[in-house]
Amino acid sequence: MVELVKSGIEGLDAMLFGGFPKGNQVMIGGGPGAGKTLMSFEYLYHGAKEGERGIFFALEEEPERVIQNIKAAFPNFGDIDELIGSGMITVHGKDLLQEIVNKYEQTGLEFGKVVAEMEETLVKSGASRAVVDSSAAFELLIKDPVVYRRSMWSLAANFRRLGVTAMLVSEIPDPDRKKLVFKTEHFIFDGMILLYQSGEESRRVYTLEIIKMRGYKHSFVTAPYDITPDGFSVMAPELITR
C-alpha cells in the first residue's frame, strides 16, 4: 500500500487519486504569474491545518515579502500568522542562502553544504513537508551542468531519506504547453506538475498537467484552474465523474 500525502487542493488531489506518494519530491514548474509559489505554500498550509509541520525555503525573497504576497492572494487564509507563530509553518528567507555563501566563500561554495544546512533546518523543525523556491537560485550558483544535475539529485535524495514530501519551484522558459522544454530537475524529481498559460493577458487561460508521479497513478488530462481567495480551484474531470 502506498501512503499518500494530500495536497489539500481538492481538484489536484483528485487528479493524483488521493495525493502524493509519501517521500516523493515534486517539481512545480510554470512561467511568471502561474501561481507556482502560491500552490506550493498552499500545500504547506493545508498540511499545517492537519498537524503536519512544513518549512518554506524562500531562496530569492525575504520571508516577510513571501508571507505578504500569500496573504494578498489568499485573504481567506486568516490563520497564516497563527500557524507561523506556532511553528507549524516556518518560512526561511534568502538570508539562509546568503549565510551559506558567506560561510563557505573562502573555500568555494559546495552544494553539499547547502543541502546539509537545509537538512539540519528540517530536522530541527520536525517538518514532514517542505518547499524550495526556487531552483533558479541554484542555477546561478552552479554553472557546470553535470555538477548541477548531480547536486539536484543529491537534494532530492536527502529530502527523500528524511521522509520529507517536498515541492521544488522551477521556472519554465515558455508558459505555452506547445513550447515546453524539459530541464534537468524535470528528470530527477519523482513528480512533475506544470502550470501553463495561454491566450492574451486580458483573456489568459490557466491549465495544469501532471507529467509524472513515480510510485502511483495519476491523471493524464490537462485541467483548467483558477486562483481564488480560498486557494487553488482545479477543475479536474475526476471530480465530475465521482
CB atoms within 10 A of CB 67: 20
* Residue that wins the pLDDT comparison between 128 and 95: 128
Domain region containing 116: 4-240
- Dump pLDDT digits (tens) for 198-211: 776 667 789 999 99
Counting residues of the chain whose pLDDT is more than 70, the rounded percentage is: 85
Strand residue runs (E) in 9-147: 20-21, 25-30, 54-58, 89-92, 129-133
CB atoms within 10 A of CB 119: 16
Question: Any idea how long the chain is?
Answer: 242
- Dump pLDDT digits (tens) for 4-15: 999 999 999 999
Which pLDDT score, from 0 to 100, does residue 103 have? Answer: 58
Longest dimension (CA), the chain: 59
CB atoms within 10 A of CB 146: 9
- Helix/strand/coil for 168: strand
Q: What residues pair up with 234 in beta bridges, in sequence order? A: 225
Total count of domains within the chain: 1
Which pLDDT score, from 0 to 100, does residue 144 have? Answer: 81
The model carries a pTM of 0.90
Mean pLDDT of 218-238: 94
Q: CA nearest 43: which of 33, 55, 34?
A: 55
Mean pLDDT of 159-185: 80
CATH assignment of the domain containing 191: 3.40.50.300
- Structural contact between residues 219 and 237, judged by C-beta atoms closer than 8 angstroms: yes
Lowest mean pLDDT among 13-27, 76-90, 170-184, 211-225: 170-184
Which pLDDT score, from 0 to 100, does residue 177 have? Answer: 66
- Dump pLDDT digits (tens) for 129-146: 999 998 877 777 777 888
Which pLDDT score, from 0 to 100, does residue 176 have? Answer: 63
Most confident of 27-31, 36-40, 237-241: 36-40
198-to-36, 66, 86, 172 alpha-carbon distances in Å: 16, 26, 40, 14
Give yes or no for residue 105 having a pLDDT over 50.
Answer: yes
- Helix/strand/coil for 180: coil
